[in-house]
Chains A and B, each alone.
Chain A
Amino acid sequence: MSKFRKKKKGIPAVNTAALPDIVFMLLFFFMVTTTMRETSLQIDAPRLPSASEVKKLEHKSLVTTIYVGKAKEAKFGTSFNRIQLNDKIASADDVPAFIINARSKVSEAEVPFMTTSIKADKESSVGTITDIRLKLRDVNALKISYSASKTSD
């Protein structure tokens, strides 16, 4: 009988020490990449026009978004000119109240840096956008950004 007799033969246990690391890694990944949508879209996701001179919107907390496009519900008709503010389909007349409400959520010093992002569908008409713009000017929300996807050219 040899001195180095093999002990009970068996496959070593799986080392799961790294498993939490992996799970955390995935978790962080999803945490970083997901963008939370505070409002649910009442309109079909706007097909954004494309442009080359686009700038990234910084300071997400200072951006208020107005959606323009075709309403999901049939009762609002099929035109591409429905305006969505917060969770509701609204009209251009409701824009000032919406902006003032958004302003109340940030500190006063930051108000001049607030930007209104207009996410409108390609097929919306300029008239609707102009109506919104006039209302924005009434409440002195002068910084706007026409949301567009970037083209390489």
Chain B
Amino acid sequence: MARRENPEINAGSMADIAFLLLIFFLVTTTMNVDSGVSKKLSEKPPADYVPPVIKEKNIFEVNINRNNELLVEGDRMEIKDLKEAAIKFIDNGGGEGKVENGVATGPCTYCNGEKSETSSDHPNKAIISVQSDRLTEYGTYLTVQDQLLRAYSELRNRLSIKMYKMPFAELEEAYKDDKDNESLKKKVELIKTSYPQIISDAEPTN
């Protein structure tokens, strides 16, 4: 009679199983990347600081009340319409741009707006002021900020495509990969200064 030996388990497919598990985890896990809306705060003004006088027409006033409702330039508005309104305001180009280092930027040549007398003069003069209540929900506040930023990025994108046949995000990405490229840097800077993001947070009301 043949002696029965203890048969060993064939583990040749163990690797396959492990790989399967590995791939499963790879596919299902979402890596927790920290992302957020970046913002640069303004520096603390000195005690004797006198704020410059800004023409009413160059300010786009957004009010959020404690019930999370929006008041834009005196009219009620839904959040979904905010982006369009902001674009219309920024891109109006109704007058002369501001004087930078003694050089006047002149009228906005790349704006597609209505050139209305009652709206902003130039994108570099257009200020968006967001005022919220202390009891406004943070979620709403951030959505508003996001919509305004989208307005800017849409305008920058449009200009970038017109001038360089390339979306602005791609241009920025290319510059990030190649930091020493002067011409790319110039392009990015030009677009950024053409539509500078001027969003100011007014002190909230109580």
Point out residues on A near B: beta carbons under 8 Å.
9-11, 13-16, 18-19, 21-22, 25-26, 29, 33, 35, 49, 51-57, 60, 63, 68, 115, 117-118, 120-130, 133, 136-138, 140-150
Contacts and interface: CB of A to CB of B under 8 A. Distances in A.
User: Which residue, of A10, A127, A140, has the highest number of chain B Cβ atoms within 10 A?
Assistant: A127
A145 to B, nearest CB: 4
Given A11-B8, A63-B34, A126 B134 contact: yes
**What 5 A-B pairs come out closest when comparing CB atoms?**
A127-B134, A122-B139, A51-B146, A145-B36, A53-B149
Contacts of B149: 53
B135 A125 contact: yes
Contacts of B138: 49, 68, 120-126, 128-129
Nearest to A136: B41
B37 A18 contact: no
Interface of B is mostly: mixed
A128 B36 CA distance: 18
B73 interface: no
B11 A145 contact: no
A122 B203 CA distance: 20
A118 B138 CA distance: 11
A127 B132 CA distance: 9
B186 to A, nearest CB: 22
A47 to B, nearest CB: 8
A125 B201 CA distance: 15
A144 B22 contact: no
A33 B29 contact: yes
B41 A144 contact: yes
Interface stretch (B12-20, B53-61, B111-119): B12-20
Contacts of B133: 126-127
Given A57-B35, A127-B134, A138 B204 contact: no
B179 interface: no
A74 B65 CA distance: 29
Interface of A is mostly: mixed
Contacts of A145: 36-39
B33 interface: yes
A4 to B, nearest CB: 19
Nearest to A56: B35
B39 to A, nearest CB: 5
A49 B143 contact: yes
A35 B30 CA distance: 11
Contacts of B42: 137, 142
Given A11-B8, A53-B150, A148-B142, A130 B35 contact: no
Given A52-B146, A149-B35, 7 more contacts: A11-B7, A49-B142, A54-B37, A57-B33, A122-B139, A124-B138, A144-B41
Contacts of A118: 36
B43 interface: yes
A26 B22 contact: yes
B78 to A, nearest CB: 15
Contact of B14 (A22, A129, A149): A22
A126 B141 contact: yes
